[in-house]
Amino acid sequence: MKRAIPTIVLLSALAANAATQIDSAGELSKPNACTASNKAALRAQLSKSPAADEVWRLTELLLCGARTPANSAYLRSHMPAKITVSNSDTGSEDQTSTVKVDAQLIDTLLGAGEARDAELRDEGNDIVLQYWPNEACVNGRTLRYTKGKWRIVAISDACD
């Protein structure tokens, strides 16, 4: 039940904000996370983290990274062989599973500049990155600092 409450809150936020996220041209009204000023603000939030340059590089790739072999290799080098993936869709039961990290999964993680309204939450050894890839979904990525290295340890997606 503990997992259901955050998901319900997240989905409620999605539904409550759905009408205000689209401007008159049908575009997301939330700020793009990949503008120079928004990237600078996010990087400043991470500046006191251990290995700040490394966690920033991961964050930037997750939000703005182009789908290139070099970027994919960098993400892969910061992920375990298997990772926890949680999915929530309105009207469906939450699904959490452990999946093998492969090229297809890594490709879905590279933000390609589509991330909107990114937020970072410091949770001790974890940093949780949350952003909107489109008007109907919120993505979460948990980064953990362990053994002197940042790793992507969990992926969550919630869609309305």
pLDDT 10s digits, 48-94: 999 999 999 999 999 999 999 999 999 999 999 999 999 999 888 89
* Residue appearing with tokens 């050894």: 125
Tally of helices (H runs) and strands (E runs) in the chain: 5, 6
What residues contact 63, with CB distance under 8 A and at least 6 apart?
33, 34, 39, 42, 111, 113, 115, 118, 129, 131
Tokens at 119, concatenated? 């937020």
CA torsion angle 5 159 110 3 (round to 10): 20
Span 4-159 CATH architecture: Roll (3.10)
pLDDT score of 91: 85
Q: pLDDT tens, 95-146?
A: 999 999 999 999 999 999 999 999 999 998 899 999 999 989 999 999 999 9
Which sequence spans correspond to the domains of the chain? 4-159
Q: Identify the pLDDT of residue 27.
A: 55
